[in-house]
Structure 1
């Protein structure tokens, strides 16, 4: 049996679906979805490639949750995903874990082990489900697609809890393990799988959120490290990238309006890769934030406008030093993205989404190490359309 909530509380819905097997008597839960999209770009090859458009925007998943005894649950989701040039078509386990939980007062404590999604911000753990994310493309300042492999799928352990506090619920996670790295990261960062490969190193994170009927607040921190092993000596060098980021999240809902904002501040610590390993690490302090205003209209229609900004190095906010050192245009050091979109639920199981991105800058355009100004303009745009269907038993 699935928990039913108002569609204006989608984040709470996600939380309840993830924890419902703990608090209900249902032994089996089966669900899934499939989504097909289209993206067209102007003055860019980001996502779309050389053809300026792509139908290779496909997502599908089948999830199973089994509760053999009162406090024990096993959960798994098999997914298919292709996302233009950012992610080649592949089938993998989105999560696969065993979980033990126990009721404590009016709340719950639990622990899980295996592969699970990280909990950074409001949407990381459900970012690949069209019905539980706010748009086709998430704000890249917080949920970058080019670095998703370096922070999304965790193989390790997760200690978590959910507690009634005042008029709301506090939900928290403490996770340790390693990220699951695929060849998508090699292509998105280095430009090709021919130059070398990334491997997973240590990962740990903490996340806490409070939510009631009109307010949602959260704080997350994660430390994720990956190492690089070059195939061609002297072309690139052995090295590592470490992401140490804080994310602060807030959301306010009033009647049919919803205002959401998230802010990321952290360091990208690198050594090696484009130069031999040195004694001192290179710290690039970065910042990103977005503000999203959304209206829930009659006939199950959502309209939204969002401003999303990312600065790759806060010591060089306009990219001037980046251009002087690396030779690439300054606009590869920052990104400003205005997004206008709509979502329509013709029924509970169907979703049609459309959005337009008007972008200045290219700090999250791939490949990160060797961006190409011949294929990426300073001012560019994306149009995206996606139709999705979900099912559950």
Structure 2
């Protein structure tokens, strides 16, 4: 519609033949009328003076005629100039449209080629495809969400986790495990490029069932995040990240330490039935509710100085004392299972329902403090 309005604004009316005839007739009538009027008026004067006056009248009338013709010629010249400007404008528009169409075809070809590359059975080709997609997302912000979806889809593909990766450690595999090592390199690259594309503005992430290794979204802006059944190998890091929409960590397992210091959840954060080895959630902000229902903690959950502005739910959580013996935990340098809410606060008037805090903690005004007794309450089972 805008294109049509633009064309209408620059359209030049067709020059009709009767316009020229009308202009010529107007010039003749003006010239003849001027001569006749002057001769009638001057006809009453003396003869000598009359002749001079008549001559002057004819000269004046001819001047009027010439002036009228000149005005018509000037209008024609202006029309030609306008016609030339419109032609140049249309040529520029056509060139711009051609360039835009060529750019779109080039970007589409680049996208198709990159997707084909990441489906290759050769790791270097897959890496090339990932970098091509990242370049595409940089050149065309409108396609960035599509590229992010492709990267998430790749990370959701099945992956057999090598033994060397388990327990938060990684050693170079033997020669027979080269393919696993190559795929590890590709997945690490995909994760890094994904994080780089989340620096400027939030985009949705669908990583349901994904296997994520050393996953790092530090300082990123994230839209809706789906991590259902995801498996985090080694230490995932979300420090100072901002989740602008719901974050679903549902049935998610964390291999060792989770770094979420300073993270902000602007909407609900659901950690239902998650398994944590050690959770670092210090100075976090839950603006839309924090739900740790039926989650299992096998080590310390540091939630000190955390701010809860909506729902708080730790119902049916489990402090897993059976996974490791006290001797093993001491040997590994791990702290015993505990949910630490020291210095945490809650916006009590905004709570949708009464806070369901872990055993040993209670609300005093807006502060979450240790209860007088450490007997288990309806919140956390030991």
TM over 0.5: no
Q: TM class, shorter-chain normalised?
A: under 0.3
- Greater percentage in helix: 2
TM-score of the superposed pair, with normalisation by structure 2: 0.20
* Higher RCO (Cα < 8 Å, 6 or more apart): 1
- Greater percentage in strand: 1
TM-score of the superposed pair, with normalisation by structure 1: 0.20
Mark the structure with the bigger radius of gyration: 2
